Amino acid sequence: VFQYASSTQPKWRVYVWGVAEHGALGVNLQLKKSREPISYLQKPVRTHFAEQHKIVDIACGYGFTALAADTRENAKVFGFGINTDSQIGYHAPRKNHPLQLILTPAPIELPLADIPNTRVINVAAGRAHLLVLTDKEGVFTLGNNAYGQCGRQIVEEEKYSGSPIIYNIPHLNGTKIKSIECGQDHSLFVNENGEVYACGCGADGQTGLGHFISEWQPCRVLGDIEGENIVKVSSTADCVLAINDKGEVFGWGNSEYSQLLHEEIQQINTARYLKKCQGLGKIIDVAAGGSFCIAVNDNGDVFVWGYGILGKGPIVNHAKEPTQIPTTLFGRNEFQPDLQIIAVSAGIGHFAAVSNNGDLYMWGHNRRGCLGLGNVKDQFFPLKVKVI
């Protein structure tokens, strides 16, 4: 009688796909030295790294990745990918020769006061900077600070490559930081009272501070969100969306693709309540991509608006008002009548959605296999990603 080996309840699996050339996937793909290294993975591939460490959060920046692990050791965050601005720390196996490209997960040692007990709960990555949120010691920032996105004073002509600086923001005006988010060159913090703070580049008004200049010190975002209890902020490039506990949507930043207001204002520098999201029900998750936005309500219905491959076929590439993606595309049919989408996310040119039966759907511009569908063709409507 055989007893087949089955792995012991792997709860923490990490799959990677997309461009591998810069090491952003952290998997060793060159098995034979004579062969060409694989430049991109079109389908999700499981990493061994997650078997050895309990990964609690992942953040994808522009060409680099950071993983947060739940451990009592001092290496709680691991990074791999592009390191030209020290966004994943200072790594110099050879003295005075810091690495610009890291191909396998390297530990980032945060200057924690209480190493065994402090836990990393969240990581967020932007174009060239990284934010790490801990449960007791606030936020640690590293990487490029040319616009003040690391929350520290901008130093003229600072050399970011090979820089060991990791800055700590312990609290925001005495309040504990609950969640973090990074846009392209700005950072957003949500504190325990539901207030949003921002710092970094403000050229498109993405800091929401009422001006269009860079600001290094995290300040409260002004506008319609004052007094609201914000539960989530989302930003990938220059547009920022936020939802409060009642499911109302607020936005600020870039609105060149009619993501935010009905009026033709292209940059909005204070938070504004989005009237176009009024009839969509209670919104539970929202994501702002490069030129489009996506929202899902408590009934599991997904709405998209903006410009680009929105997911309603090849013809629809611009929507000024939120339009619903038919739920049949996510698999709601006679055999699965209770199917709902529970979370959404967006990149610069693509979308992702997770359903309540644990399936991942992706669509949009398929840059070098970033959709994980097994090919490099653009996908004009949501398709399930095979994650084995």
Partner 1 sequence: MVYVSKAPTVWNLLKGVVCIYKPAGITAAYVRKILLGNICRDLCELETRPPASHVFIEGNPSTSLNVHVSPSFADHPLVVGPRYQPDDFRCTWGAPIGKNISGVFVLGLNEGNKIVKNLHMQRPTRVFRLKGLLGQATDTYFSDGKVVEKATFRHVNRSKLDTLVASIQAAHQKQMFHQSGVDIQSQTAYELAVQGLIKPANSKIPILYGIKCIHFEPPNFTIEVQCINEHEVYLKTLVHDIGMKLHSVATCTSIQCIRYDSFTLEHALLRKHWTLQHLMDSMSESSRLLKETEADKRQKSAFLVKSDMSRLKAPVVNNDEIETLY
C-alpha dist (Å) from residue 122 to 43, 76, 177, 182, 379 = 26, 11, 11, 12, 30
Q: How far apart are CA 205 and CA 223, in angstroms?
A: 12
Asked if 31 touches partner 1 (CB under 8 A), the answer is no
Asked if 329 touches partner 1 (CB under 8 A), the answer is yes
Q: Tell me the closest approach of the beta carbon of residue 4 to partner 1, in angstroms.
A: 4
Binding residue (CB under 8 A) for partner 1 from 46, 331, 365, 368: 331
CB nearer to partner 1: pick between 28 and 324: 324
Asked if 328 touches partner 1 (CB under 8 A), the answer is yes
Q: Which residues in 256-315 contact partner 1 (CB under 8 A)?
A: 312-315
CB nearer to partner 1: pick between 68 and 373: 373
Q: Which stretch binds partner 1 (CB under 8 A): 48-56, 81-89, 104-112, 372-380?
A: 372-380
CB nearer to partner 1: pick between 205 and 308: 308
Asked if 8 touches partner 1 (CB under 8 A), the answer is no
Asked if 10 touches partner 1 (CB under 8 A), the answer is no
Specify the DSSP class assigned to residue 175: B
Q: Count CA atoms closer than 13 A to 108's CA, side-chain side.
A: 32
| 178 three-state secondary structure | strand
Q: Which of 180, 226, 225 is nearest to 199 (CA)?
A: 180
Neighbours of 337 (CB within 10 A): 7
Q: Which stretch binds partner 1 (CB under 8 A): 24-32, 240-248, 256-264, 331-339?
A: 331-339
Q: How far apart are CA 174 and CA 107, in angstroms?
A: 30
Is 89 in contact with 99 (CB distance < 8 Å)?
no
Q: Spell 227-249 as b/e; 16+ CB within 10 A means b.
A: ebebbbbbbbbbbbbbbbeebbb
Q: Which residues in 342-361 contact partner 1 (CB under 8 A)?
A: 357-359
Q: Tell me the closest approach of the beta carbon of residue 294 to partner 1, in angstroms.
A: 17
Q: Tell me the closest approach of the beta carbon of residue 14 to partner 1, in angstroms.
A: 19
Is 98 in contact with 161 (CB distance < 8 Å)?
yes
Binding residue (CB under 8 A) for partner 1 from 31, 114, 335, 338: 335
Q: Tell me the closest approach of the beta carbon of residue 377 to partner 1, in angstroms.
A: 6
Q: How far apart are CA 373 and CA 369, in angstroms?
A: 7
Q: How far apart are CA 60 and CA 66, in angstroms?
A: 7
Residues contacting partner 1: total by CB under 8 A: 29
Q: Tell me the closest approach of the beta carbon of residue 24 to partner 1, in angstroms.
A: 27
Q: Which spans of this chain sit near partner 1 (rule: CB under 8 A)?
A: 1-6, 312-315, 326, 328-329, 331, 333-336, 357-359, 377-381, 383-384, 386
